[in-house]
């Protein structure tokens, strides 16, 4: 993956069937694998990852920002 900002290197939630209830956990797993350098489609030198999940009709929103030490 190249570019200043890489978005959805795994294809995003729709590529996975958008599993209701598991969506947020899936996003966290994706970011953690990227930060550890263990993802099957790695972002080179990933140091910060962000997840954003909106539920229902916009009633619930979560944002997580994860990072690793240099």
DSSP states of 18-31:
--TTTHHHHHHHHH
pLDDT of 65 higher than 90: yes
Going from N- to C-terminal start, the domains of the chain cover 14-67
pTM of this structure: 0.78
Q: Which of 22, 27, 44, 26 is nearest to 35 (CA)?
A: 44
pLDDT for 12-57, tens place per residue?
777 777 777 788 888 899 999 999 999 998 998 999 999 988 877 7
Determine the Cα–Cα distance for residues 13 and 70; give it in Å rounded to an integer.
Answer: 29
Determine the Cα–Cα distance for residues 53 and 55; give it in Å rounded to an integer.
Answer: 7
Q: Which of 43, 35, 41 is nearest to 69 (CA)?
A: 35
């Amino acid at each position: 993956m190249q570019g200043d900002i890489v978005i959805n290197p795994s294809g995003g939630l729709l590529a996975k069937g958008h599993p209701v209830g598991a969506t947020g956990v899936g996003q966290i797993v994706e970011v953690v694998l990227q930060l550890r350098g263990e993802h099957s489609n790695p972002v080179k030198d990933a140091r910060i990852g962000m997840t954003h999940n909106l539920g229902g009709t916009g009633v619930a929103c979560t944002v997580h920002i994860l990072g690793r030490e240099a």
